[in-house]
């Protein structure tokens, strides 16, 4: 509702998990991917707009020392039947995350 027709979504993140997840969503729904950078530091001279830091970028929450960037567009008709696959993928990722958290807690206790 907010994106203009033929508008782009620009995602900058320090989270490799969010970056890979978004790439999976783009592939799953057959979205148009225009740019995929796994570290913007190599492209700052060619694309000065990437040097603008977001609030979250400054927080460096993921501590990855890397900023990922994706530029993509939505299709006119999103295939909602893919939502079931996406929900299963999210559930699987959440389960893996919970297992890792439990293992981490057991190691630290």
Q: Nearest Cα to 70, choosing from 26, 101, 105?
A: 26
pLDDT for the residue 72 = 95
Cα–Cα distance for residue pair 27/32, rounded to 1 Å:
9
Question: Which of 99 and 69 is assigned the larger pLDDT?
Answer: 69
- CA dihedral angle for residue 34, residue 36, residue 39, residue 42, rounded to 10 degrees: -50
Cα–Cα distance for residue pair 103/101, rounded to 1 Å:
5
pLDDT band of residue 55 (cuts 50, 70, 90) is: confident
Give the pLDDT confidence of 59-90 residue by residue, as tens digits.
766 676 788 999 999 877 788 888 998 999 88
């Amino acid at each position: 509702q907010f994106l203009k027709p033929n508008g782009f979504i620009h995602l900058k993140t320090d989270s490799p998990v969010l970056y890979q997840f978004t790439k999976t969503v783009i592939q799953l729904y057959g979205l148009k991917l225009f740019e995929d950078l796994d570290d913007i530091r190599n492209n700052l001279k060619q694309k000065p707009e990437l040097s603008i830091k977001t609030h979250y970028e400054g927080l460096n929450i993921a501590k990855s020392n890397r900023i990922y960037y994706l530029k993509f567009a939505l299709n006119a008709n999103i295939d909602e039947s893919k939502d079931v696959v996406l929900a299963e993928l999210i559930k699987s990722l959440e389960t893996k995350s919970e297992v890792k958290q439990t293992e981490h807690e057991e190691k630290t206790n």
